[in-house]
Amino acid sequence: MTAAAGNQDGGDLDEARIEAWLDEHPGFVGDYFMRKASRKVVDSWLLAHAVPQSVVQDQGHNAAVVRCNSGGSASLNGSGVSPPMRKISACEFDRGSPLRPIVQTSFDGTPTFLALPAAGEAQNASAPRQQRRSRQELRALNERELIFELVKDICNELDIRMLCHKILQNVTVITNADRCSLFLVHGDRDSTERCLVSQLFDVSCQSTLEQVRYEEVRVPWGSGIVGYVAQSKEAVNIPDCYNDSRFNKSIDLRTGYRTRCMLCMPVFDRDGEVIGVAQVINKKDHNGHDVFNRNDEKVFSEYLQFCGLVLRNAQLYERSELENTRNQVLLDLARMVFEEQSTIEQVVYRIMVHMQALLECERCQVLLVDHKTKTTFHRVFDLEAKDVLKDDMSCCTSPYEGRFPINTGITGCVVATGQIANIPDAYKDERFDSKVDEGGMFKHKSILCIPIYNAGRLVLGVAQLINKLNGEPFNKNDEQLLEAFAIFCGLGIQNTQMYEKVVKAMAKQRVTLEVLSYHATAPLDEARKLSECMLPSTQSLKLQDFKFNDFSLDDDGMLTACLRIFLELDFLNRFHIEYTVLCRWLLSVKKNYRGVSYHNWRHAFNVGQMMFAILTNTKLHEVLGDLETFGLIVACFCHDLDHRGTNNSFQIKSSSPLAQLYSTSTMEHHHFDQCIMILNSQGNQILSHVSPAEYTTIIRVVEESILATDLAVYFRKRGLFFKLVENKEYQWNNGDHRELLRNMLMTACDIGAITKPWEVQRVVADLVTMEFFQQGDMERQELKIQPIDMMNRDKQDQLPAMQLGFIDSICLPLYRAFSRIHERLGTLLEGVEHNRREWQRLAEARLAAVNGDQNGPGDGEADKRRAGPVAVL
Q: Which residues are annotated as a binding site?
A: 599-603, 639-640, 750, 803
Residues pairing with 376 in the sheet: 405
Q: How far apart are CA 609 and CA 565, in angstroms?
A: 8
Give me the sign of the Cα torsion angle 323, 327, 332, 336. Answer: positive
Contact 447, 473 (CB under 8 A): no
Query: DSSP string spanning 364-415?
Result: EEEEE--TT-SSB-SEEEEEEGGGGG-S--HHHHSPEES-SBSSSHHHHHHH
Binding residues for Zn(2+): 603, 639-640, 750
- The question of whether 599 is a catalytic residue gets the answer yes
Residue of 165, 599, 669, 671 marked active site: 599
Contact 703, 671 (CB under 8 A): no
H/E run at residue 104: strand 104-105
Kindly list the distances between the CA atom of residue 8 and the CA atoms of 12, 14, 18, 619, in Å, as whole numbers in the listed order. Answer: 11, 11, 17, 105
DSSP state of 204: -
Contact 331, 113 (CB under 8 A): yes
Q: How far apart are CA 198 and CA 217, in angstroms?
A: 5
Say how many C-beta atoms besides its own lie within 10 A of residue 855's C-beta. Answer: 9
At residue 764, what is the residue type? V
Q: How far apart are CA 343 and CA 347, in angstroms?
A: 6
Question: To the nearest 10°, the Cα dihedral for 500, 501, 505, 510?
Answer: 0
Binding residues for AMP: 599-603, 640, 750, 803
At residue 89, what is the residue type? S
SS (H, E, C) 422-452: EECCHHHCCCCCHHHHCCCCCCCCCEEEEEE
Q: How far apart are CA 213 and CA 192, in angstroms?
A: 28
Our measurement of the distance from residue 446's CA atom to the centroid of its chain's CA atoms, rounded to an integer in Å, reads 37
Please state the length of the chain: 873
Residues pairing with 465 in the sheet: 364, 448
Residues 6+ apart with CB under 8 A from 114: 104, 106, 325, 328, 329, 332
Kindly list the distances between the CA atom of residue 712 and the CA atoms of 642, 660, 749, 792, in Å, as whole numbers in the listed order. Answer: 20, 19, 16, 22
Q: How far apart are CA 771 and CA 560, in angstroms?
A: 28
Question: To the nearest 10°, the Cα dihedral for 389, 390, 394, 396?
Answer: -40
DSSP state of 553: S
Q: How far apart are CA 410 and CA 433, in angstroms?
A: 9
Q: How far apart are CA 562 and CA 542, in angstroms?
A: 12
Say how many C-beta atoms besides its own lie within 10 A of residue 36's C-beta. Answer: 8
Contact 226, 219 (CB under 8 A): yes
Kindly list the distances between the CA atom of residue 773 and the CA atoms of 632, 781, 792, 793, 799, in Å, as whole numbers in the listed order. Answer: 31, 12, 6, 5, 12
Q: How far apart are CA 765 and CA 399, in angstroms?
A: 66
Within 176-256, where are the H helices? Answer: 224-232, 250-255
Contact 141, 149 (CB under 8 A): yes
H/E run at residue 236: strand 236-238
Q: How far apart are CA 618 and CA 604, in angstroms?
A: 21
Residues pairing with 366 in the sheet: 381, 463
Residues 6+ apart with CB under 8 A from 758: 834, 835, 838
- Give the catalytic positions in this structure: 599
